[in-house]
Structure 1
Amino acid sequence: METSFALTGKGYVIIAADTTAARSIVKMKVDEDKIKELGTHLLMAYSGEPGDTVQFAEYVERNIRLYQIRNLYPLRPPAAASWIRRSLAQSLRSRNPYSVNLLLGGYDQAENKPNLYWIDYLGSVVEVPFAAHGYGSYFALSLLDRYHDPEAPLEEGLATLKRCLDEVAKRLVVSPSKYMVKVVDKDGVREVEI
Protein backbone atom coordinates (compact mmCIF):
# COMPACT_ATOMS: atom_id res chain seq x y z
CA MET A 1 0.00 0.00 0.00
CA GLU A 2 2.91 2.34 -0.62
CA THR A 3 2.22 5.68 -2.20
CA SER A 4 4.48 8.48 -3.39
CA PHE A 5 3.72 11.74 -5.16
CA ALA A 6 5.77 14.50 -6.75
CA LEU A 7 5.07 17.74 -8.56
CA THR A 8 6.99 20.66 -10.00
CA GLY A 9 6.29 24.35 -9.72
CA LYS A 10 8.00 27.66 -10.27
CA GLY A 11 11.56 26.79 -9.27
CA TYR A 12 10.88 23.78 -7.03
CA VAL A 13 10.02 20.09 -6.86
CA ILE A 14 7.89 18.65 -4.04
CA ILE A 15 8.19 14.93 -3.26
CA ALA A 16 5.97 13.12 -0.73
CA ALA A 17 6.05 9.48 0.34
CA ASP A 18 4.17 7.55 3.01
CA THR A 19 6.15 6.55 6.09
CA THR A 20 4.67 3.09 6.66
CA ALA A 21 6.81 -0.03 6.46
CA ALA A 22 4.51 -3.04 6.12
CA ARG A 23 4.70 -6.64 5.04
CA SER A 24 1.48 -8.41 4.08
CA ILE A 25 -1.09 -7.35 6.72
CA VAL A 26 1.46 -6.37 9.37
CA LYS A 27 2.50 -2.76 9.90
CA MET A 28 6.07 -2.92 11.21
CA LYS A 29 7.06 0.73 11.30
CA VAL A 30 5.33 4.09 10.87
CA ASP A 31 8.32 6.44 10.60
CA GLU A 32 10.23 5.06 7.58
CA ASP A 33 11.88 7.73 5.42
CA LYS A 34 11.36 6.60 1.80
CA ILE A 35 12.91 9.72 0.27
CA LYS A 36 16.68 9.54 -0.20
CA GLU A 37 18.76 12.71 -0.52
CA LEU A 38 21.20 11.93 -3.32
CA GLY A 39 22.88 15.32 -3.24
CA THR A 40 22.37 18.92 -2.24
CA HIS A 41 19.83 19.43 -5.05
CA LEU A 42 18.62 15.88 -5.78
CA LEU A 43 15.92 13.70 -4.15
CA MET A 44 14.64 10.22 -4.89
CA ALA A 45 11.44 8.63 -3.53
CA TYR A 46 11.38 4.86 -3.78
CA SER A 47 8.75 2.14 -3.42
CA GLY A 48 8.55 -1.57 -4.13
CA GLU A 49 9.88 -4.73 -2.51
CA PRO A 50 11.27 -3.83 0.94
CA GLY A 51 14.77 -5.33 0.54
CA ASP A 52 15.18 -4.15 -3.03
CA THR A 53 14.18 -0.57 -2.31
CA VAL A 54 16.64 0.07 0.49
CA GLN A 55 19.50 -1.75 -1.24
CA PHE A 56 18.96 -0.01 -4.59
CA ALA A 57 18.49 3.42 -2.98
CA GLU A 58 21.76 3.06 -1.08
CA TYR A 59 23.52 1.78 -4.22
CA VAL A 60 22.35 4.85 -6.16
CA GLU A 61 23.25 7.22 -3.33
CA ARG A 62 26.79 5.84 -2.98
CA ASN A 63 27.50 5.80 -6.71
CA ILE A 64 26.25 9.36 -7.25
CA ARG A 65 28.43 10.46 -4.32
CA LEU A 66 31.40 8.56 -5.81
CA TYR A 67 30.87 10.35 -9.13
CA GLN A 68 30.98 13.70 -7.33
CA ILE A 69 34.19 12.77 -5.48
CA ARG A 70 35.92 11.61 -8.67
CA ASN A 71 34.83 14.51 -10.88
CA LEU A 72 34.58 17.35 -8.31
CA TYR A 73 31.04 18.29 -9.39
CA PRO A 74 27.66 16.61 -8.83
CA LEU A 75 25.52 14.89 -11.45
CA ARG A 76 22.76 17.05 -12.87
CA PRO A 77 19.22 15.62 -12.58
CA PRO A 78 18.96 14.51 -16.26
CA ALA A 79 22.29 12.67 -16.02
CA ALA A 80 21.30 11.05 -12.70
CA ALA A 81 18.00 9.87 -14.22
CA SER A 82 19.84 8.32 -17.17
CA TRP A 83 22.35 6.56 -14.93
CA ILE A 84 19.57 5.20 -12.67
CA ARG A 85 17.61 4.01 -15.72
CA ARG A 86 20.65 2.18 -17.05
CA SER A 87 21.29 0.56 -13.66
CA LEU A 88 17.69 -0.68 -13.46
CA ALA A 89 17.80 -1.95 -17.05
CA GLN A 90 21.03 -3.84 -16.35
CA SER A 91 19.59 -5.40 -13.19
CA LEU A 92 16.47 -6.41 -15.13
CA ARG A 93 18.67 -8.51 -17.40
CA SER A 94 20.46 -10.20 -14.48
CA ARG A 95 19.43 -13.09 -12.26
CA ASN A 96 18.36 -10.77 -9.44
CA PRO A 97 16.44 -7.78 -10.81
CA TYR A 98 15.41 -4.92 -8.51
CA SER A 99 11.67 -4.41 -8.11
CA VAL A 100 11.77 -0.66 -7.45
CA ASN A 101 9.69 2.29 -8.65
CA LEU A 102 11.24 5.75 -8.32
CA LEU A 103 10.42 9.43 -8.46
CA LEU A 104 13.57 11.48 -9.01
CA GLY A 105 13.36 15.22 -8.44
CA GLY A 106 16.07 17.80 -8.58
CA TYR A 107 16.95 21.39 -9.24
CA ASP A 108 19.32 21.83 -12.19
CA GLN A 109 21.63 24.67 -11.16
CA ALA A 110 23.12 24.95 -14.66
CA GLU A 111 19.74 25.65 -16.28
CA ASN A 112 18.02 27.07 -13.18
CA LYS A 113 14.97 24.85 -13.50
CA PRO A 114 13.37 21.95 -11.62
CA ASN A 115 13.33 18.44 -13.10
CA LEU A 116 11.08 15.52 -12.19
CA TYR A 117 11.48 11.99 -13.55
CA TRP A 118 9.12 9.02 -13.28
CA ILE A 119 11.08 5.73 -13.32
CA ASP A 120 9.55 2.27 -13.04
CA TYR A 121 10.96 -1.16 -12.27
CA LEU A 122 11.38 -1.95 -15.99
CA GLY A 123 13.87 0.88 -16.45
CA SER A 124 11.44 3.22 -18.21
CA VAL A 125 12.07 6.90 -17.56
CA VAL A 126 10.16 10.01 -18.56
CA GLU A 127 10.41 13.64 -17.51
CA VAL A 128 7.02 14.77 -16.19
CA PRO A 129 5.47 17.84 -14.50
CA PHE A 130 3.84 15.63 -11.83
CA ALA A 131 3.94 11.93 -10.96
CA ALA A 132 2.75 9.25 -8.56
CA HIS A 133 3.47 5.62 -7.74
CA GLY A 134 1.48 3.08 -5.75
CA TYR A 135 -2.20 2.68 -5.02
CA GLY A 136 -2.57 6.36 -4.22
CA SER A 137 -1.77 7.18 -7.84
CA TYR A 138 -5.22 5.91 -8.90
CA PHE A 139 -6.78 8.84 -7.06
CA ALA A 140 -4.07 11.49 -7.18
CA LEU A 141 -3.17 11.58 -10.87
CA SER A 142 -6.58 12.93 -11.92
CA LEU A 143 -6.35 15.66 -9.26
CA LEU A 144 -2.81 16.55 -10.32
CA ASP A 145 -3.93 16.66 -13.95
CA ARG A 146 -6.67 19.12 -13.06
CA TYR A 147 -4.99 21.32 -10.43
CA HIS A 148 -1.28 21.27 -11.25
CA ASP A 149 0.13 24.61 -12.37
CA PRO A 150 3.81 24.64 -13.48
CA GLU A 151 4.05 28.34 -12.55
CA ALA A 152 2.50 27.96 -9.07
CA PRO A 153 4.37 29.28 -6.02
CA LEU A 154 5.40 26.80 -3.32
CA GLU A 155 2.35 27.44 -1.11
CA GLU A 156 0.01 26.62 -3.99
CA GLY A 157 1.99 23.47 -4.83
CA LEU A 158 1.75 22.31 -1.21
CA ALA A 159 -2.02 22.96 -1.27
CA THR A 160 -2.34 20.80 -4.41
CA LEU A 161 -0.33 18.04 -2.73
CA LYS A 162 -2.51 18.30 0.40
CA ARG A 163 -5.59 17.90 -1.80
CA CYS A 164 -4.11 14.66 -3.20
CA LEU A 165 -3.25 13.31 0.25
CA ASP A 166 -6.76 14.07 1.51
CA GLU A 167 -8.32 12.30 -1.47
CA VAL A 168 -6.18 9.19 -0.89
CA ALA A 169 -7.11 9.19 2.82
CA LYS A 170 -10.77 9.48 1.89
CA ARG A 171 -10.91 6.87 -0.91
CA LEU A 172 -8.20 4.24 -0.33
CA VAL A 173 -9.30 1.37 1.92
CA VAL A 174 -5.92 0.98 3.64
CA SER A 175 -4.59 4.50 3.34
CA PRO A 176 -1.29 5.62 4.88
CA SER A 177 -1.70 7.82 7.93
CA LYS A 178 1.50 9.86 7.68
CA TYR A 179 3.65 11.27 4.87
CA MET A 180 7.11 12.75 4.67
CA VAL A 181 7.32 15.76 2.37
CA LYS A 182 10.55 17.25 1.03
CA VAL A 183 11.17 20.20 -1.27
CA VAL A 184 14.19 20.82 -3.49
CA ASP A 185 14.84 24.23 -5.03
CA LYS A 186 17.75 26.61 -5.69
CA ASP A 187 18.50 26.67 -1.94
CA GLY A 188 18.78 22.88 -1.66
CA VAL A 189 16.73 20.18 0.04
CA ARG A 190 14.48 20.70 3.06
CA GLU A 191 11.67 18.88 4.80
CA VAL A 192 8.30 20.61 5.12
CA GLU A 193 5.21 19.89 7.22
CA ILE A 194 1.79 19.36 5.67
Structure 2
Amino acid sequence: MAFEQFMPGATAVGIAFADGVVLAAEKRVSFGTYVVSRSGKKVFKITERVGAACAGMVADMQILMRQVESIARLKSFEIRREVPPNSIGKLVSVLLFERRYFPLLTQIIIGGIDVYTEKPAIYTLDPLGSILPDDYAAVGTGAEMAIGVIESAYRPDMNEQEARDLTLKAIRAAVARDAASGDGVDMLIITKNGCKEESLMLKLS
Protein backbone atom coordinates (compact mmCIF):
# COMPACT_ATOMS: atom_id res chain seq x y z
CA MET A 1 0.00 0.00 0.00
CA ALA A 2 1.15 3.53 -0.72
CA PHE A 3 0.25 4.54 2.85
CA GLU A 4 2.76 2.08 4.33
CA GLN A 5 5.71 4.37 3.54
CA PHE A 6 4.20 6.97 5.89
CA MET A 7 3.50 4.59 8.78
CA PRO A 8 5.40 5.77 11.87
CA GLY A 9 8.31 3.68 13.06
CA ALA A 10 9.03 2.81 16.67
CA THR A 11 10.52 0.27 19.04
CA ALA A 12 8.77 -0.74 22.26
CA VAL A 13 9.88 -3.49 24.64
CA GLY A 14 8.42 -5.24 27.67
CA ILE A 15 10.30 -7.65 29.95
CA ALA A 16 9.06 -9.53 33.01
CA PHE A 17 11.64 -10.14 35.74
CA ALA A 18 11.50 -11.84 39.13
CA ASP A 19 9.77 -8.99 40.98
CA GLY A 20 8.10 -6.95 38.26
CA VAL A 21 8.15 -5.71 34.67
CA VAL A 22 10.05 -3.16 32.62
CA LEU A 23 8.25 -1.33 29.82
CA ALA A 24 10.19 0.97 27.52
CA ALA A 25 10.01 2.74 24.16
CA GLU A 26 12.25 5.11 22.26
CA LYS A 27 11.20 8.73 21.76
CA ARG A 28 11.37 9.38 18.01
CA VAL A 29 8.13 10.14 16.16
CA SER A 30 8.50 9.86 12.39
CA PHE A 31 6.25 10.14 9.35
CA GLY A 32 7.87 8.38 6.44
CA THR A 33 11.38 9.81 6.22
CA TYR A 34 10.46 12.94 8.20
CA VAL A 35 11.21 13.12 11.94
CA VAL A 36 8.18 14.85 13.46
CA SER A 37 9.42 14.88 17.07
CA ARG A 38 12.38 13.75 19.13
CA SER A 39 10.47 13.74 22.43
CA GLY A 40 7.37 11.64 21.81
CA LYS A 41 6.15 9.57 24.76
CA LYS A 42 4.99 6.03 23.97
CA VAL A 43 5.00 4.59 27.51
CA PHE A 44 1.86 5.01 29.61
CA LYS A 45 0.99 4.38 33.25
CA ILE A 46 -2.54 2.92 33.42
CA THR A 47 -2.77 2.06 37.12
CA GLU A 48 -0.22 1.91 39.95
CA ARG A 49 0.59 -1.68 38.92
CA VAL A 50 -0.15 -1.77 35.19
CA GLY A 51 1.37 0.12 32.28
CA ALA A 52 1.75 -0.01 28.52
CA ALA A 53 4.38 0.58 25.85
CA CYS A 54 3.16 1.27 22.31
CA ALA A 55 4.33 1.55 18.73
CA GLY A 56 2.42 3.09 15.82
CA MET A 57 0.28 6.20 15.41
CA VAL A 58 0.84 8.42 18.44
CA ALA A 59 -2.68 9.88 18.35
CA ASP A 60 -4.23 6.40 18.29
CA MET A 61 -2.18 5.14 21.22
CA GLN A 62 -2.84 8.30 23.24
CA ILE A 63 -6.63 8.24 22.85
CA LEU A 64 -6.75 4.48 23.52
CA MET A 65 -4.65 4.73 26.68
CA ARG A 66 -6.75 7.61 28.02
CA GLN A 67 -9.88 5.55 27.48
CA VAL A 68 -8.36 2.46 29.12
CA GLU A 69 -7.09 4.45 32.09
CA SER A 70 -10.52 5.97 32.67
CA ILE A 71 -12.35 2.64 32.44
CA ALA A 72 -9.79 0.95 34.72
CA ARG A 73 -10.20 3.70 37.32
CA LEU A 74 -14.00 3.36 37.26
CA LYS A 75 -13.72 -0.43 37.50
CA SER A 76 -11.39 -0.22 40.49
CA PHE A 77 -13.95 1.96 42.29
CA GLU A 78 -16.62 -0.60 41.48
CA ILE A 79 -14.73 -3.71 42.65
CA ARG A 80 -12.83 -1.81 45.41
CA ARG A 81 -9.45 -3.18 44.45
CA GLU A 82 -6.87 -2.74 41.72
CA VAL A 83 -7.60 -4.09 38.25
CA PRO A 84 -5.07 -6.85 37.34
CA PRO A 85 -3.02 -6.72 34.12
CA ASN A 86 -4.90 -9.61 32.48
CA SER A 87 -8.17 -7.67 32.85
CA ILE A 88 -6.54 -4.54 31.42
CA GLY A 89 -5.24 -6.63 28.52
CA LYS A 90 -8.70 -8.05 27.81
CA LEU A 91 -10.21 -4.57 27.97
CA VAL A 92 -7.71 -3.24 25.43
CA SER A 93 -8.36 -6.30 23.25
CA VAL A 94 -12.12 -5.63 23.23
CA LEU A 95 -11.66 -1.92 22.46
CA LEU A 96 -9.34 -2.72 19.55
CA PHE A 97 -11.61 -5.45 18.17
CA GLU A 98 -14.61 -3.11 18.27
CA ARG A 99 -12.64 -0.84 15.89
CA ARG A 100 -11.44 -3.66 13.62
CA TYR A 101 -13.10 -2.22 10.46
CA PHE A 102 -11.37 1.13 11.04
CA PRO A 103 -8.51 0.02 13.31
CA LEU A 104 -6.41 2.03 15.69
CA LEU A 105 -2.94 1.77 14.16
CA THR A 106 -0.97 0.80 17.23
CA GLN A 107 0.74 -2.27 18.65
CA ILE A 108 0.69 -2.51 22.42
CA ILE A 109 2.57 -4.26 25.22
CA ILE A 110 0.64 -4.39 28.50
CA GLY A 111 2.67 -5.22 31.60
CA GLY A 112 2.15 -5.23 35.33
CA ILE A 113 1.88 -7.08 38.62
CA ASP A 114 -1.12 -9.33 39.26
CA VAL A 115 -2.82 -8.09 42.44
CA TYR A 116 -3.83 -11.62 43.41
CA THR A 117 -0.70 -13.67 42.71
CA GLU A 118 1.92 -10.86 42.99
CA LYS A 119 3.48 -12.25 39.79
CA PRO A 120 4.57 -10.16 36.80
CA ALA A 121 2.67 -10.45 33.51
CA ILE A 122 3.26 -9.30 29.93
CA TYR A 123 0.67 -9.24 27.12
CA THR A 124 1.13 -8.26 23.47
CA LEU A 125 -1.72 -6.90 21.33
CA ASP A 126 -1.99 -6.15 17.62
CA PRO A 127 -4.25 -3.46 16.07
CA LEU A 128 -7.14 -5.95 15.68
CA GLY A 129 -7.16 -6.99 19.33
CA SER A 130 -5.30 -10.30 19.30
CA ILE A 131 -3.75 -10.82 22.74
CA LEU A 132 -0.80 -13.06 23.60
CA PRO A 133 0.76 -13.61 27.05
CA ASP A 134 4.55 -13.88 27.24
CA ASP A 135 7.59 -13.29 29.43
CA TYR A 136 8.95 -10.60 27.10
CA ALA A 137 7.89 -8.84 23.92
CA ALA A 138 8.94 -6.26 21.34
CA VAL A 139 6.78 -4.38 18.84
CA GLY A 140 7.34 -1.79 16.13
CA THR A 141 9.70 -1.42 13.19
CA GLY A 142 12.71 -2.22 15.39
CA ALA A 143 11.14 -5.31 16.98
CA GLU A 144 13.18 -7.84 15.00
CA MET A 145 16.47 -6.45 16.28
CA ALA A 146 15.23 -5.95 19.84
CA ILE A 147 13.70 -9.41 20.27
CA GLY A 148 16.91 -11.11 19.13
CA VAL A 149 18.89 -9.30 21.82
CA ILE A 150 16.33 -10.16 24.51
CA GLU A 151 16.11 -13.85 23.57
CA SER A 152 19.88 -14.24 23.76
CA ALA A 153 20.10 -13.05 27.37
CA TYR A 154 16.67 -13.35 29.02
CA ARG A 155 16.21 -15.24 32.29
CA PRO A 156 12.95 -15.34 34.30
CA ASP A 157 14.88 -14.87 37.56
CA MET A 158 16.56 -11.60 36.54
CA ASN A 159 16.55 -8.78 39.06
CA GLU A 160 15.37 -5.24 38.33
CA GLN A 161 18.78 -3.90 37.30
CA GLU A 162 19.46 -6.82 34.95
CA ALA A 163 16.04 -6.42 33.31
CA ARG A 164 16.55 -2.68 32.96
CA ASP A 165 19.98 -3.18 31.38
CA LEU A 166 18.65 -5.81 28.96
CA THR A 167 15.79 -3.53 27.95
CA LEU A 168 18.19 -0.69 27.16
CA LYS A 169 20.49 -3.04 25.27
CA ALA A 170 17.58 -4.27 23.13
CA ILE A 171 16.36 -0.78 22.29
CA ARG A 172 19.90 0.41 21.62
CA ALA A 173 20.33 -2.44 19.10
CA ALA A 174 17.07 -1.50 17.39
CA VAL A 175 17.92 2.21 17.29
CA ALA A 176 21.31 1.45 15.71
CA ARG A 177 19.61 -0.35 12.80
CA ASP A 178 16.18 1.27 12.45
CA ALA A 179 16.22 4.86 11.19
CA ALA A 180 12.65 5.42 12.46
CA SER A 181 13.66 4.74 16.08
CA GLY A 182 15.90 6.85 18.30
CA ASP A 183 16.42 10.01 20.37
CA GLY A 184 16.22 8.51 23.86
CA VAL A 185 14.13 6.11 25.92
CA ASP A 186 11.14 6.40 28.22
CA MET A 187 10.96 3.60 30.77
CA LEU A 188 8.34 2.42 33.28
CA ILE A 189 9.41 -0.08 35.96
CA ILE A 190 6.57 -1.72 37.89
CA THR A 191 6.99 -3.83 41.04
CA LYS A 192 4.68 -4.81 43.90
CA ASN A 193 5.82 -1.61 45.65
CA GLY A 194 4.50 0.59 42.85
CA CYS A 195 5.93 2.08 39.67
CA LYS A 196 8.61 4.54 38.69
CA GLU A 197 9.26 6.35 35.43
CA GLU A 198 12.60 7.18 33.91
CA SER A 199 13.66 9.08 30.82
CA LEU A 200 17.18 9.02 29.38
CA MET A 201 19.19 9.60 26.26
CA LEU A 202 20.84 6.74 24.43
CA LYS A 203 24.56 6.44 23.77
CA LEU A 204 25.12 4.12 20.82
CA SER A 205 28.90 3.99 21.10
Report if TM-score (shorter chain) is over 0.5: yes
- SS of the residue aligned with 2:127? coil
* Preserved contact between residue 46 and residue 57 of structure 1 (Cα < 8 Å): no
| Offset at residue 111 of structure 1 (A) | 0.2
- SS of the residue aligned with 2:46? strand
How do 1:94-173 residues align onto structure 2 when only pairs under 5 Å count?
96-173=102-179
Deviations 1:63-109 (A, max 9, x none): 1112122332221111111121112111114xx33222100001112
Q: Which of 23, 27, 32 in structure 2 is aligned with 1:15?
A: 23
How do 1:1-194 residues align onto structure 2 when only pairs under 5 Å count?
1-93=9-101, 96-192=102-198
**Stretch deviating more after TM superposition (13-22 or 69-78):** 69-78
Give the number of aligned pairs: 192
After TM superposition, the score normalised by the length of structure 2 is 0.87
Cα-Cα RMSD: 1.6
Deviations 1:17-43 (A, max 9, x none): 111223233323222221111111010
Structure 1 runs of 4+ off > 6 angstroms? Answer: none
2:6 aligns with none
> What amino acid does structure 1 have at the position aligned with 2:149?
L
Deviations 1:113-147 (A, max 9, x none): 00110111121111111100112111111111111
> What amino acid does structure 2 have at the position aligned with 1:103?
I
**Stretch deviating more after TM superposition (71-80 or 20-29):** 20-29
Gaps of 5+ in 2: 1-8, 201-205
Gaps of 5+ in 1: none
> What amino acid does structure 1 have at the position aligned with 2:39?
D
- SS of the residue aligned with 1:31? coil
Deviations 1:161-187 (A, max 9, x none): 222123123322443121101100111
Tell me: CA distance 1:76–1:35, structure 2 relative to 1, closer, same or farther (3 Å). Answer: same
